Structure 1
Amino acid sequence: MNKIKLIVGLANPGVKYAKTRHNIGSLYIRLLANYYNKKLKQESKFFGFTTFININNINIYLLIPTTFVNLSGKSVLAMMNYYNINADEILIVHDDLDLPTGIAKIKFGGSNAGHNGLKNIQSNLNNNSNYYRLRIGIGHPGDKNKVINYVLEKPTIFEQKLINDVIKKVISCTDILFFYDKYKELNYSHIFKATNYE
């Protein structure tokens, strides 16, 4: 696995969307920053909130775009260009309808599975999908016509506990997953499960 230099958590801006399923990416970034005792600061040139953490003397930039999810690419590209970061040095964190709540999986490249945030990022990267993704499961409402409302709703209390648990598990392994060569075999096939996942 290439060393990650930028981790982006996708989200819609504003209080209205702050705790919705679609904003799981930003929750991950906030918890990750807190884990490393860092505070996020709004930076207009990056169209988002940002800070950095340092692991093994490598700066890893954290970003929560303040654009809507389906316009995230502008923010990602601005930070990539500023710090000279390649696509395969990026980890995009996002909600995933195809994974059950309480499951997270790392993936490299592949289909955007209809996720509008990923579509926009790929468009801004000249259709380059060769970046890492942390897919955090939110489950599926069972009817494609309910998806839009579902992702913009808050998880149930139990679902939120599962989400928080699996995010904390991934965060606790950050340095191992991304920065130690002997763990390359984990790559994008590694799956995390919340403690109470059934």
Structure 2
Amino acid sequence: MFLIVGLGNPGEEYEHTRHNAGFDSLDLVAEEVGARYWKTECGALTAKGVWRDHDVVLAKPQSYMNTSGGPVKQLMNAYGVKADHLIVIHDELDIDPGTIRVKFGGGHAGHNGLRSICDKLGTRDWFRVRCGIGRPPGRMPVVDWVLGRPKKEQADDFTQATHLASQAALGLVTDGLEKTQQRFN
């Protein structure tokens, strides 16, 4: 079983913002795995599905980005998922819009959602699907950029990145890290 977590913030005001790239990507994963029923458990919206004979649990923590680690840890305990079967999809400032990167382990690079997961799990060794949103233009504060909705061509890049991220997450389930990196990185 794999736990695929999309990071984001709950609530209409955050829907489809750059910071919610994980939620948007996870919605696409849900379509692919036939997950239609979402319920609240362990502080997250969850749904279950099957991808090529692998059971998957999808999760959108509802505790806001900065405290995502609590629900992730609770879900891992509830489902008996080990860190090497955790896939987290999240926005990434240091990757160009419209592109993604896949990796296993690493730091949090200042991303508070990742920091929370690292702290709660006591390890950094889990899969990450990093959805590129790029850096804000000029002197725009980072918080305004990540909590903003992409417009025009940025919206196309955002849609492309969330689509690629959903496919990469499913690739990790069936093909493993190396093949998935070769395909998407």
8 Å contact 1:105–1:191 — kept in the other structure? yes
Unaligned 5+ segments in structure 2 are none
Gaps of 5+ in 1: 193-198
Q: How many residues align?
A: 185
**Distance in 2 (alpha carbons) for counterparts of 1:175 and 1:139:** 24
Residue 177 (structure 1) shift: 3.9
Counterpart residue identity of residue 160, structure 1: A
Q: Residues 30, 132 of structure 1: CA spacing in aligned structure 2 closer, same or farther, 3 A cutoff?
A: same
Counterpart amino acid of 1:155?
Answer: P
Equivalent residue number for residue 107 of structure 1 = 103
Q: Is the 8 A contact 1:94 1:136 kept in 2?
A: yes
Q: Deviations over 1:76-97 (max 9, x none)?
A: 0111000111111101100000
Letter in 1 for 2:184: I
Question: What is the alpha-carbon root mean square deviation over aligned residues?
Answer: 2.1
- Return the letter of the residue paired with 1:82: A
Q: 1:178 offset after TM fit, Å?
A: 2.6
Contact 1:107 1:187 in 2 (8 A): no
List per-residue Cα deviations over 1:19-42 (Å, max 9, x = no partner): 211001000011111233322413
Amino acid aligned to 1:134: V
In the alignment, is the contact (CA less than 8 A) between 1:48 and 1:64 conserved in 2? yes
Contact 2:4 / 2:56 at 8 angstroms: preserved in 1?
yes
Work out the percentage of aligned pairs sharing the same amino acid. 31
- Residue 140 of structure 1 corresponds to 135
Partner of 2:163: 168
Q: 2:179 aligns with which of 169, 177, 186?
A: 186
Once the 2 structures are TM-superposed, how far is the Cα of residue 104 of structure 1 from its aligned partner?
0.5
The structure-2 alpha-carbon separation of the partners of 1:26 and 1:176, relative to structure 1 and needing over 3 Å to count, comes to closer
**Residues 144 and 88 from structure 1, CA distance in 2 versus in 1: closer, same or farther, beyond 3 angstroms?**
farther
Q: What is the match of residue 65 of structure 1?
A: 61
Q: TM-score, normalised by structure 1?
A: 0.84
Secondary structure of 1:110's aligned partner: coil
Q: 1:189, CA displacement in angstroms? A: 5.9
Shift of 1:158: 1.6
Counterparts of 2:63 and 2:131, CA distance in 1:
20
TM-score normalised over the length of structure 2: 0.90
